[in-house]
Amino acid sequence: MPTDYQRSARTSLDREYAYMAWGMMAGAVPGIVAGLLVAAFVGHAAMWVSVLGGVGIVLGLVAGILLHRMRHGRGAQDRAASPEHRPRS
């Protein structure tokens, strides 16, 4: 059976990766801008851009993961805790 690569993936893990990617981009841009602003007054542009850009990427990654969990739940852990998914004795 051939795989259709034109269809967008719709699994929870794919959505989580999308949230992580958008979060990293959203954190990198302000981090780079802040690095350039700090470097304008302090100097050493490459150091400040890389440090503050990296901090922005990490903060954006964490924010993306938390936003996905808030909007879509925790997945298997929520389902396992529900009464209809408990193993029968």
Walk along the chain (89 residues) and give the pLDDT tens digit of each residue.
566 666 666 788 888 899 999 999 999 999 999 999 999 999 999 999 999 999 999 999 999 999 999 998 865 555 555 555 556 65
pLDDT at 10: 76
The whole-number pLDDT of residue 88 equals 60
Q: Is 37 helix (H, G, I), strand (E, B) or coil?
A: helix
Does residue 31 contact residue 48 with C-beta atoms inside 8 Å? no
Six token digits for residue 48: 């400040």
Task: Determine the pLDDT at residue 20.
Answer: 94
User: Model's pTM, two decimal places?
Assistant: 0.71
Contact residues for 9 (Cβ-Cβ < 8 A; gap 6+): none
Q: How many residues does the chain have?
A: 89
